[in-house]
């Protein structure tokens, strides 16, 4: 079953990228008490993710925060080291990277995908969520090969 508006996020361990190195964090703790703009990509350093998805959130970070977002987070089925390198290469300190290395968060949301045909294995679908104190307010899941509803621009219109 796919996560829906009004659902509480499942509690899964993620790995937060920090200056001091990877830090395990439960999703319940991370999303508690704040409004988070979360976006998910199939993989760091992949074409659409690097050319459009991450840069859009970097560019619109101040606007998202001005509309009440406390934190902007990105998740992907990559390890924390890859996400940290990706954020250094094209991200910003405004984006918190949450590694879902085993795909457990994506699967718990019902938003996992099999990209084995592309040699990428099990990954996450491309999506975005607005999460307020652990409860989903908006769900935006892209169709295969699309990039529209999970963009920062689309999310700004929802806030």
Cα 129 from Cα 144, distance rounded (Å): 18
Angle (CA) 2-58-128 rounded to 5° is: 10
Active site residue 49: yes
By C-alpha distance, which of 48, 44, 42 is closest to 125?
Answer: 42
Instruction: Tell me the CA distances in angstroms from 85 to 17, 78, 117, one per residue in order.
Output: 10, 11, 26
CB 5 within 8 A of CB 93: no
Cα 38 from Cα 98, distance rounded (Å): 10
Q: Which of 49, 73, 98, 109 is catalytic?
A: 49
Residues involved in catalysis: 49
């Amino acid at each position: 079953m796919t996560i829906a508006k009004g659902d509480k996020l499942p509690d899964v361990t993620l790995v937060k990228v920090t200056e001091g190195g990877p830090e395990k964090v439960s999703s319940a703790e991370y999303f508690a008490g704040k409004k988070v703009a979360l976006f998910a990509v199939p993989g760091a350093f992949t074409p659409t993710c690097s050319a459009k998805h991450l840069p859009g959130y970097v560019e619109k970070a101040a606007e998202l925060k001005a509309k009440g977002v406390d934190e902007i987070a990105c998740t992907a089925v990559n390890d924390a080291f890859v996400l940290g390198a990706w954020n250094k290469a094209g991200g910003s300190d405004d984006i918190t990277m949450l590694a879902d290395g085993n795909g457990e968060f994506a699967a718990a949301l019902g938003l996992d995908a099999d990209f084995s045909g592309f040699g990428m294995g099990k990954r996450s679908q491309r999506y975005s969520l607005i999460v307020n104190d652990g409860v989903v307010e908006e769900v935006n899941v892209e169709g295969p090969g699309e990039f529209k509803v999970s963009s920062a621009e689309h999310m700004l219109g929802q806030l």
